[in-house]
Amino acid sequence: MADEKRKIRIATCSLAGCFGCHTSMLDIDERLFDLLKMVEFDRTPFTDIKHCGPCDIGIVEGGVSNAENARVLREFRENCKVLVAIGPCAITGNVPALRNNIDLWDCFQEVYLYDPGTEGKQIPNDSELPLPFDKVYPIYEVVKVDYFLHGCPPPAEAIWKFLTDLIQGKEPEIDYELLRYD
Amino acid sequence: MSGTITIDGKTVPFTGGQTIMDAALEAGVYIPHLCHNPEFKPHGSCKLCVVEANGRNVTSCTMPASPDMVVINDTPELNEDRKALVQMLFVEGNHICPACEATGNCQLQAAGYYLHMQSPRFMHFYPPRRVDASHPDIFLDLNRCILCELCVRASRDIDKKNVFGISGRGIDSHLVVNSESGKLGDTNMTVTDKAAHVCPTGAILIKRKGYTMPIGKRTFDQKTLREFHLEQQKRVEPKDGPDGG
């Protein structure tokens, strides 16, 4: 009974993203059962584990928009042997980075004070809220990233191909048809 | 002057005045490019088409072919350089593919696919750039401009309107509009102008036409940049057809 082959351990998280990449991960559908034969999940929204322990593969969706994002990203880098940026928010900043050319304070005022539909009109200032950064950063500009998986979100096929390549210890290869920046 | 050159060992004929790019495209040999379009005078700015000709690196769209020239084009080294150029173009502007109407029809994006660009490699600039929506039918979004000057050439040489120009130097180079206000709405540009339809990215867009093509049917869902450019060449030929060209 001993010597059961250790399963590959995977952690995932979504920073400044929309959870679309995570939704696409679930779109591998029944192959999730095949995946679970090969891997076990550490911290991920699927398990609700709050902190990342030592892992083989870390998959990060979303860019770095605030102090909490940076903390989580560093925790992933420290604990994961291989770190993967999934989706354009993690790779380029994407739509959240549209605010990068707007002064942060102007941005807050526009959203919480000036917008005609706003009630209460106050800028949130609770100590529980993470401090926002001046810009949204792609994750490779904060920590070293080993692989990039494109697509907004990457199609389930691309995620499956990418993950199975990695799990088998191969260099992940994404065909022309599956390489999409949108 | 005419004769033959070889490109990656393949013999390619050329006629007087033809560049390496002209001869290659006519023979169906693909040299990746972005700022070149066979309908216009070559510009040589994007540098994607750099090849090794007789041992020297030259832009194939501006270098005249000469007899027995030996051209090296499709090598891992040159394609890596081309990929690096595309990566630089991506980080130098604000290219947010998922939020761009040109996505799927964009040649910059297709160059990334063709050269298998997997990472941004360089730090993003996030430069502050202008969006001009003053024209009733045309958007001008400088976030996506790669300074290929195709709109400049089309407006000057075909439309005879001189609507666009490039101003500034180095990293400050930017597209300008030739009107007192600097706004596109104050020019005589119309939606039927050639300049409105040559942008390889989403910097010049026709209003009310966005996302009309479903995913899967867009240009680069169906073909590679190579196929697109070789077809583009066929549309321009024949220069010396039955009508004398």
pLDDT values of chain A reduced to their tens digit, one per residue, 182 residues = 444 678 999 999 999 999 999 999 999 999 999 999 999 999 999 999 999 999 999 999 999 999 999 999 999 999 999 999 999 999 999 999 999 999 999 999 999 999 888 888 899 999 999 999 999 999 999 999 999 999 999 999 999 999 999 999 999 999 999 999 99
| Distance separating alpha carbons of residues A45 and A9, to the nearest angstrom | 15
Instruction: Identify whether the C-beta of residue A90 lies closer than 8 Å to the C-beta of residue A17.
Output: yes
CATH superfamily for domain A8-98+135-173? NADH:ubiquinone oxidoreductase-like, 20kDa subunit (3.40.50.700)
Residue A134 near chain B (CB below 8 Å)? no
Query: Region B205-225: what's the mean pLDDT?
Result: 94
pLDDT at B238: 61
| Distance separating alpha carbons of residues B71 and B63, to the nearest angstrom | 11
Residues of B with CB under 8 A from a CB of A: 90, 94-100, 103-104, 109, 112-113, 116, 118-120, 123-124, 126-129, 224
Give the pair of three-digit tokens for residue B73: 């084009």
B183 pLDDT higher than 60: yes
Cα–Cα distances (Å) from A169 to A82, A163, A173, B30, B189, in that order, read 11, 10, 12, 35, 56
| Distance separating alpha carbons of residues B61 and B51, to the nearest angstrom | 10
Query: Region B182-187: what's the mean pLDDT?
Result: 98
CB-closest option in B97, B126, B128 to A88: B97
Task: Give the gap in angstroms from C-alpha B217 to the nearest C-alpha of chain A.
Answer: 13
| ipTM confidence | 0.93
State the pLDDT confidence band at B245, using cuts at 50, 70 and 90: very low
pLDDT at A59: 98
Alpha helices in chain B (DSSP H): 20-26, 76-92, 107-114, 150-153, 219-222, 225-236
- For B55, left (φ over 0), alpha (ψ -120 to 50), or beta? left
Taking an 8 Å cut-off on Cβ atoms, the answer to whether A98 and B97 are in contact is: no
One fold for B1-125+216-238 and B129-207? no
pLDDT at A1: 46
Beta bridge partners of B101: none
Per DSSP, the three-state class of B138 is: strand
Fold of domain B1-125+216-238: Ubiquitin-like (UB roll) (3.10.20)
Nearest residue to B142 via CA among B205, B206, B203: B203
Task: Give the gap in angstroms from C-alpha A41 to the nearest C-alpha of chain B.
Answer: 26
B149 pLDDT higher than 50: yes
Which one of B83, B92, B97, B225 makes the best mutation probe of the A interface by having the most chain A beta carbons within 10 Å? B97
B199 pLDDT higher than 50: yes
Q: What is the pLDDT of residues B18-61, one digit of tens each?
A: 999 999 999 999 999 999 999 999 999 999 999 999 999 999 99
Query: Region B171-175: what's the mean pLDDT?
Result: 95
Which one of A92, A106, A173, A175 makes the best mutation probe of the B interface by having the most chain B beta carbons within 10 Å? A92
Q: Parse chain A into domains and list their residue ranges.
A: 8-98+135-173
State the pLDDT confidence band at B241, using cuts at 50, 70 and 90: very low
Instruction: Report strand pairing: A55-61 vs A8-14.
Output: parallel
CB-closest option in A92, A152, A174 to B120: A92
Spell out where chain A has E strands.
8-14, 39-41, 55-61, 64-66, 80-86, 132-137, 147-149
pLDDT at A6: 86
Q: Parse chain B into domains and list their residue ranges.
A: 1-125+216-238, 129-207
B242 pLDDT higher than 60: no
Range B129-207 classified under CATH 3.40.50.720:
no
